[in-house]
Structure 1
């Protein structure tokens, strides 16, 4: 069963923008996801973007590219970026492609 794509923003005032992704992260959602992540990064009070992948069912190469684009934007603006709670499939994609360092060191999966 495929779960519809959704992004949920967790409220907080600790300088961390937390986005939780549900469903498939692929070419069909990349533009939307990239825009949401960059909007969060560009908020004045945000020092770090945390992307929670607990409910991400799939990560395509296009999906990885949009995560890398958001990371690049965050770093250019002097902000942090990390992925948290990736599923086994997402973790495998990150390791195979050499981007496992994007994972939160506290939750290396």
Structure 2
């Protein structure tokens, strides 16, 4: 499947990197480069990686997000992954990256909570 990545700078100074399609070995370097560009060129207070249209992520894609997170935090900005699909969110929950990427309600989501039998 094809993938595309765009970056935008909002009027409030925040940056958004939007991913459409797969995040894998074929484009993980591009994703990291888009995030680094936003950090280095725009110095935004927050970078959001919008993944509502992302259809798949593999370990190299997760690595690109972690690399982007590190670059963003080192620059003194906040890093958020926003609008994940349920499947994408599940990958972040299972890998323990939800909190790191600003999705702190991971344990409160019904699909990740365990039944107590009560």
TM-score range, shorter chain: 0.7 to 0.9
Match of 1:54 in 2: 52
Matched, 1:66 2:61: no
Q: 1:17-96 alignment to 2 at 5 Å?
A: 17-96=15-94
Contact 1:22–1:57, Cα closer than 8 Å, also in 2: yes
Range with greater deviation from structure 2 (54-63 or 10-19): 10-19
Query: How far off is 1:10 after superposition?
Result: 3.4
User: What's the C-alpha RMSD, in Å, of the aligned pairs?
Assistant: 1.9
Normalized against structure 2, the TM-score is what? 0.81
Contact 2:80–2:102, Cα closer than 8 Å, also in 1: yes
Structure 2 unpaired stretches of 5+: 110-118
Describe the superposition over 1:33-83 as per-residue Cα deviations: whole angstroms up to 9, x where unpaired.
111111011124411110000000001111001000000011111011000
Distance in 1 between the 2:27 and 2:104 partners?
27
Larger radius of gyration: 2
Distance in 1 between the 2:32 and 2:95 partners?
20
Task: Count residues with an aligned counterpart.
Answer: 106
Normalized against structure 1, the TM-score is what? 0.87
Contact 2:46–2:78, Cα closer than 8 Å, also in 1: yes
Distance in 1 between the 2:36 and 2:55 partners?
22
Distance in 2 between the 1:11 and 1:62 partners?
26
Contact 2:5–2:20, Cα closer than 8 Å, also in 1: yes
Structure 1 unpaired stretches of 5+: none
